Amino acid sequence: MKHGPSSESVIPTVTGFSPGFAALGLEAPLLATLETLGYEEPTPIQREAIPPLLTGRDLLGQAATGTGKTAAFALPMLQRIGHASKTHPSGLVLVPTRELAIQVGDAAQRYGKELRVRVLPVYGGQSIGPQLHALKRGVDVVVATPGRALDHIRRGSLKLHEVKIIVLDEADEMLDMGFADDLDAILAGTPKTKQTALFSATIPPRIRAIAHRHLQNPIEITIAKEPVKAGTAPRVQQTAYIVTRPHRAAALARVIDVTNANSALVFCRTRLEVDEVTAMLTGRGHKAEAIHGGMNQGQRDRVMQAFKAGQTELLVATDVAARGLDIPQVSHVINYDLPSSAEVYVHRIGRTGRAGREGAAITILDPREQRLLRTIEQHTKARVTVLPIPSVADLRARQLDRVQAAVEQVLRDGPLDAFKHLVERLSAHPPAEVAAAALKLLVRAQGGERQEQEIPVISVGQPEFGKPIRDARHSGGRLHGRSAGADRPSTGRTRQGGRAGEMARVYIGVGREAGIRPGDLVGAIANEAKVNSNIIGAIEIENRFSIVDVPASMASGIIEVLGRARIKGRRVPVRLFRD
pLDDT band at 485 (very low <50, low <70, confident <90, very high): very low
- Do 276 and 359 fall into the same domain? yes
- Shortest CA distance to 471 belongs to which of 450, 489, 453? 489
**C-beta separation of 366 from 66 below 8 A:** yes
CA 337 to each of CA 165, 245, 248, 387: distance values in angstroms, whole numbers, following the listed order: 29, 10, 9, 16
* CA distance linking residue 91 with residue 94, whole number of Å: 10
DSSP states of 514-544: GT--HHHHHHHHHHHTT--GGG---EEE-SS
- Asked if residue 265 belongs to a domain, the reply is yes
**What pLDDT shows up at residue 491?**
30
- Do 181 and 39 fall into the same domain? yes
- Do 534 and 422 fall into the same domain? no
* CA distance linking residue 126 with residue 122, whole number of Å: 8
**What pLDDT shows up at residue 484?**
30
Kindly report each contact of residues 444-448 with a partner whose C-beta sits within 8 Å and lies 24 or more positions away, as own/partner.
Answer: 446/285, 446/399, 446/403, 447/284, 447/285, 448/396, 448/399, 448/403
User: Does the pLDDT of residue 542 top 60, yes or no?
Assistant: yes
- Do 417 and 544 fall into the same domain? no
- Do 290 and 416 fall into the same domain? no
**What pLDDT shows up at residue 579?**
52
- Do 204 and 77 fall into the same domain? yes
User: Does the pLDDT of residue 465 top 50, yes or no?
Assistant: no
- Do 309 and 211 fall into the same domain? no
Query: If residue 377 lies in a helix (H) or strand (E), which one and from where to where?
Result: helix 370-380
The domain spanning residue 476 has which CATH number?
3.30.70.330
* CA distance linking residue 25 with residue 14, whole number of Å: 8
Task: Determine the average pLDDT of the residues in 379-395.
Answer: 82
The string of pLDDT tens digits covering residues 414-454 is 777 777 777 777 777 787 887 777 777 776 666 555 667 78
- Do 154 and 26 fall into the same domain? yes
Query: If residue 61 lies in a helix (H) or strand (E), which one and from where to where?
Result: strand 59-62
- Do 360 and 429 fall into the same domain? no
- Asked if residue 317 belongs to a domain, the reply is yes
- Asked if residue 416 belongs to a domain, the reply is yes
- Asked if residue 492 belongs to a domain, the reply is yes
Strands 574-576 and 165-168: unpaired
| pTM for the model | 0.54
**What pLDDT shows up at residue 78?**
95
The domain spanning residue 379 has which CATH number?
3.40.50.300
Give the chain's domain count: 4
**What pLDDT shows up at residue 315?**
92
- Shortest CA distance to 541 belongs to which of 561, 521, 557, 523? 521
The reply to whether omega before 42 is within 30° of 0 (cis) is no
Query: If residue 440 lies in a helix (H) or strand (E), which one and from where to where?
Result: helix 431-445
- Asked if residue 566 belongs to a domain, the reply is yes
- Do 139 and 281 fall into the same domain? no
- Asked if residue 375 belongs to a domain, the reply is yes
Cα-flanking dihedrals φ and ψ of residue 276, to 5°? Answer: -65, -45
- Asked if residue 231 belongs to a domain, the reply is no
**C-beta separation of 65 from 91 below 8 A:** no
- Do 169 and 282 fall into the same domain? no
Q: Which domain holds residue 39?
A: 19-222
- Asked if residue 121 belongs to a domain, the reply is yes
- Shortest CA distance to 459 belongs to which of 492, 495, 496, 493? 496
Question: Could you tell me which residue, 282 or 502, shows the higher pLDDT?
Answer: 282
**C-beta separation of 159 from 88 below 8 A:** yes
Query: If residue 411 lies in a helix (H) or strand (E), which one and from where to where?
Result: helix 392-413
Of the three residues 445, 477, 512, the one that is the final residue of a domain is 445
User: Does the pLDDT of residue 466 top 60, yes or no?
Assistant: no
Query: If residue 291 lies in a helix (H) or strand (E), which one and from where to where?
Result: strand 288-291
The string of pLDDT tens digits covering residues 176-188 is 777 888 899 999 9
- Do 76 and 217 fall into the same domain? yes
**C-beta separation of 572 from 561 below 8 A:** no
User: Does the pLDDT of residue 60 top 90, yes or no?
Assistant: yes
- Shortest CA distance to 367 belongs to which of 233, 272, 529, 242? 242
Q: How many CB atoms lie within 10 A of CB 410?
A: 11
Per the DSSP assignment, residues forming a β-bridge with 507 are 547, 575
**What pLDDT shows up at residue 111?**
93
Q: At what angle are helices 69-81 and 98-111 packed, to 10 degrees?
A: 50
